[in-house]
């Protein structure tokens, strides 16, 4: 039995000075219940809480860490830079170095600018698309999360009463901003075509994650992105790939490279900062020129491209660029995949497991079919997931505290970490399903 008394006490104190005791809502564990834990330190694949419990980390700061925690090269670069100054309000060689690496990695982009978060990156990309086209509507997909800017949290124009509740729905967005977004089901090109037929001349851009990572892990159907590209071309709208999660996760650059899609604008974040706060928007010169001085679109930031983040990002990307890095990462992913499939089969658990590279997800529903849309995601058993999350935490595995996040594998995970996760996960699912069936009065054989 793990004790988390210090975490509980800290949260009690934290709640007196911060709403829910957190600076970002997921950390309150609202979706999974139970006591959230407070981190003390982390290294490699392990994270320790303030009570001294050690967990194998599959949250990895919501995917910001591809190298695990406190990687030597990154720590050294950040420490060196800290002694030279943390922010200057001036440009640095470090930021040109990082910009060159990213621009060279992804043929779709000619220019890039750094900001401090994925939120800012997507917000600015959307602003550029609207300025360039002189149109106001953005299309996004159900279950997507593109940060918390007003424009991306606005209520979609076509959100009918039957629609699944929109993710990140919020009050406080100015009324006139609402209805400037259209919502489409992920993987539903026909619906997208219908939206273009109805609103084509008003659509500035389609904003899409190449792999949907904010609803567990949902892969695009073959041809989905090519059809989006073709529709954007036909109707004069821009295609924005939100690669805040996918960028540099599967290959050195945007995953648009390996998908063979040529987006107009690409947003990055998370991994490219090496664990420090970052966002970046990038794209073709004809769109990026809008943010140059005297042009149409404004964006700035006191901490944009701060040297600490640039040092961390450069150090991380240098490790990612080493020959064999992504092959080794993919091998870890396929090891976990084999282990989870074996464990689920041995326990007769009919859940689907999806994986691409180092990103994976288990669909908590009795179906061999992969999830394709947010509607599918909502058919999962959130109650069983809650129990599984608590069981895994107790056994020393930190999983994302939401069924709508993927499992984040890092280069720091050992094969033992992955094998033990597979065993613990399948066993926790089996026990939680049995518990649930018993509560519902079903025979245990039904699980
Ligand atoms: C796809 C996507 N875009 C944008 C964001 C916003 O990034 P940030 O949290 O750095 O503002 C996120 C955050 O998780 C994301 O998953």
pLDDT at 442 over 90: no
Structure tokens at 269: 């974040």
Atom of ligand 1 nearest to the CA of 278: 10
pLDDT exceeds 70 at position 160: no
Mutate to test the pocket of ligand 1, among 125, 141, 142, 145 (most ligand atoms within 8 A of CB): 145
Structural domains of the chain in order of their starting residue, each with its CATH number: 5-70+324-446 (3.90.1150.10), 72-320 (3.40.640.10)
281 is catalytic: no
**What six digits make up the tokens of 368?**
């061999």
What whole-number percentage of the chain has pLDDT above 90?
90
- Extract the tokens encoding 233: 């071309």
Cβ neighbours for 38, distance < 8 A, ≥ 6 positions apart: 6, 7, 10, 11, 49, 50
Q: Where are the alpha helices (DSSP H) in 200-248?
A: 224-235
| 141 has pLDDT over 90 | yes
Write down the pLDDT at residue 447. Answer: 45
State the pLDDT confidence band at 157, using cuts at 50, 70 and 90. Answer: confident
DSSP assignment, residue 157?
T
Average pLDDT (389-408) is: 97
The pLDDT tens digits for 311-356 are 999 999 999 999 999 999 999 999 999 999 999 999 999 999 999 9
Strand partners, 56: 46, 397
pLDDT at 168 over 70: yes
What does the block give as tokens for 366? 């009795």
Q: So what's the pLDDT on residue 294?
A: 80
Q: Give the position, in ligand 1's atom list, of the atom nearest the Cα of 119.
A: 11
Question: Which of 46, 49, 145, 281 is the catalytic position?
Answer: 145
Which residue ranges have their beta carbon within 6 Å of ligand 1? Answer: 62, 117-119, 122, 145-147, 209, 214, 242, 244-245, 269, 279
- Confidence class for position 179, pLDDT limits 50, 70, 90: confident
Round to whole Å and give the CA distance between 102 and 114: 11
Q: What is the pTM of this model?
A: 0.96
242 counts as catalytic: yes
């Amino acid at each position: 039995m793990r004790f988390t008394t210090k975490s509980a006490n800290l949260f009690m104190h934290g709640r007196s000075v911060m709403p829910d005791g957190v600076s970002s809502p997921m950390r309150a564990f609202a979706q999974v219940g139970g006591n959230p834990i407070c981190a003390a330190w982390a290294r490699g694949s392990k994270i320790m809480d303030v009570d001294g419990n050690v967990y194998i980390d599959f949250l990895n700061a919501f995917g910001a860490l591809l190298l695990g925690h406190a990687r030597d090269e990154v720590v050294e670069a950040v420490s060196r830079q800290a002694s030279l100054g943390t922010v200057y309000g001036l440009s640095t060689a470090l930021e040109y170095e990082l910009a060159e690496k990213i621009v060279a990695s992804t043929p779709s982009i000619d220019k890039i600018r750094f900001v401090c978060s994925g939120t800012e990156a997507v917000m600015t990309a959307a602003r550029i698309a609207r300025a360039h086209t002189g149109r106001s509507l953005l299309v996004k997909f159900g279950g997507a999360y593109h940060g918390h800017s007003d424009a991306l949290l606005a209520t979609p124009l076509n959100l009918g009463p039957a629609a699944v509740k929109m993710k990140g729905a919020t009050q406080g967005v100015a009324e006139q901003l609402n209805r400037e977004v259209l919502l489409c089901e992920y993987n539903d090109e026909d619906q997208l075509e219908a939206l273009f037929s109805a609103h084509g001349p008003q659509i500035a851009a389609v904003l899409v994650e190449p792999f949907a990572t904010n609803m567990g892990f949902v892969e695009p159907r073959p041809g989905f992105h090519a059809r989006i590209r073709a529709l954007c071309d036909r109707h004069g709208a821009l295609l924005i790939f939100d690669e805040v999660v996918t960028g540099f996760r599967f290959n050195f650059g945007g995953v648009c490279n390996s998908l063979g899609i040529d987006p107009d604008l690409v947003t990055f974040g998370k991994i490219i900062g090496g664990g420090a706060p970052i966002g970046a928007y990038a794209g073709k010169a004809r769109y990026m020129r809008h943010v140059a001085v005297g042009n149409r679109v404004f964006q700035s930031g006191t901490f944009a491209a701060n040297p600490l983040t640039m040092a961390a990002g450069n150090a991380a990307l240098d490790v990612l660029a080493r020959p064999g890095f992504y092959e080794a990462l993919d091998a870890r992913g396929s090891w976990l995949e084999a282990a989870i499939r074996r464990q689920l089969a041995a326990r007769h658990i009919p859940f689907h497991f999806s994986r691409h590279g180092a990103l994976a997800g288990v669909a908590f529903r009795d179906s061999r079919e992969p999830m394709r849309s947010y509607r599918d995601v909502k058919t999962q058993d959130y109650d069983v997931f809650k129990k599984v999350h608590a069981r895994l935490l107790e056994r020393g595995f930190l999983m994302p505290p939401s069924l709508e996040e993927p499992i984040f594998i890092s280069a720091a995970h050992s094969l033992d970490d992955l094998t033990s996760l597979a065993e613990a996960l399948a066993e926790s699912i089996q026990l939680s399903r049995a518990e649930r069936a018993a509560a519902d009065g079903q025979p245990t054989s039904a699980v």
